[in-house]
Amino acid sequence: MTRLLAFIVSLFISAAALAQPAKRPKPLYAMNHVEIDTLLRQTSRQHPDFLERLQIYSARALGTPYRWFALGEGRQGKFDRGPLVDFAHVDCLTFCEQILAMTLAEHYDEMFQRLQRLRYRNGEIDIRTRNHFTLADWLPNNAWLVEDITATLGREFCVEMTKTINRVESLQKKGVPLKELTAIPPPQTMTIQYIPKVNLPAIKAKLRGGEIAVVIQSRPGIFAAHLGFMLRDSTDRIFFRNASARRGVKKAVDEDFDDLVKFLKRNPSWVGMVFLRVRPEFMNRPELVAREKLKPVDASAIK
């Protein structure tokens, strides 16, 4: 009788345990640097695939509060003293940069190095060398990692857009005096190709997942309005993982691809998208490839 009672009790305990919801992993925005270091070491050891890491790290960042211009040049920065790394707050660009930096790293210090290399030309930490313009600065200065695949995806749907990028004017608005901008190049007129929003459903099936999707705007002086990651889930659903500044959202979220297209169609100034893809050599053990390609960033004085 005693054994039977113990067996029945154990059944109840097992059933209760099964009924308990699985404990959710601690979100990235609530983790300290030691916990993030542990996460990086465990994940890089267990998941050598770039896309798997991208999914894992970006999922842990869901819910991160949105903050405009979340990062800067650190406490010693002359014009922007925002932190050099901050997983507690993100904007759309820093969300992508920090997640990419994680995928390229085996531990926290390596992640920090990769982040500065993504954010600054040659890793030189200064507001004047920051990749402020996504397509005019960030893309060419990170050609070691990503390539523009818009024309390949869009083909006959692609249209051109030409704008003039005025870096001096932009930096002056950020508080940098003209006398400190003598090394900044003059206004640059450049032309890009993008896929109009009406044609985005036609290229949906071509998305592998892992692309960086850049929303293109019609306003003068800047191409990019927003960006995030295109991902596929286990059911093959395409969705957009991004740090959203929308009213009532203000955090990192997932949006279905079709819902994103509908939102673009309701926004007159958001005219289409550009797609970037990480180069194939980074798909396996990306931290090893990054070590071969990049020189260490000297941030000892400002970290």
DSSP, residue by residue, 201-270 = HHHGGG--S-EEEEEEE-STT-SEEEEEEEEE-TT--EEEEEEE--TTT-EEEEEEHHHHHHHHHH-TTE
Tokens representing 303 are 């970290």
- Give the pLDDT of residue 21: 55
Check residues 296 and 162 and name the one with the higher pLDDT: 162
27-59 pLDDT per residue, tens: 999 999 999 999 999 999 999 999 999 999 999
Tokens representing 81 are 């003293």
Tokens representing 157 are 């749907």
DSSP 81: -
- Give the pLDDT of residue 15: 45
C-alpha–C-alpha distance, residues 218 and 260, integer Å: 17
Mean pLDDT, the chain, integer: 93
C-alpha–C-alpha distance, residues 135 and 128, integer Å: 16
Check residues 10 and 236 and name the one with the higher pLDDT: 236
C-alpha–C-alpha distance, residues 139 and 131, integer Å: 8
Q: Are 209 and 181 in contact (CB under 8 A)?
A: no
Polymer length of the chain? 303
CATH architecture of 26-292: Roll (2.30)
* pLDDT over 80 (residue 160): yes
**Of 2-16, 42-56, 141-155, 162-176, where does mean pLDDT reach its minimum?**
2-16
- Judged on CB neighbours under 10 Å (0-12, 13-18, 19+), 175 is exposed
C-alpha–C-alpha distance, residues 117 and 90, integer Å: 18
Question: Which secondary structure element, helix H or strand E, spans residue 277, and what is its range?
Answer: strand 270-278
What is the three-class DSSP state of 102? helix
- Give the pLDDT of residue 295: 85
C-alpha–C-alpha distance, residues 179 and 181, integer Å: 6
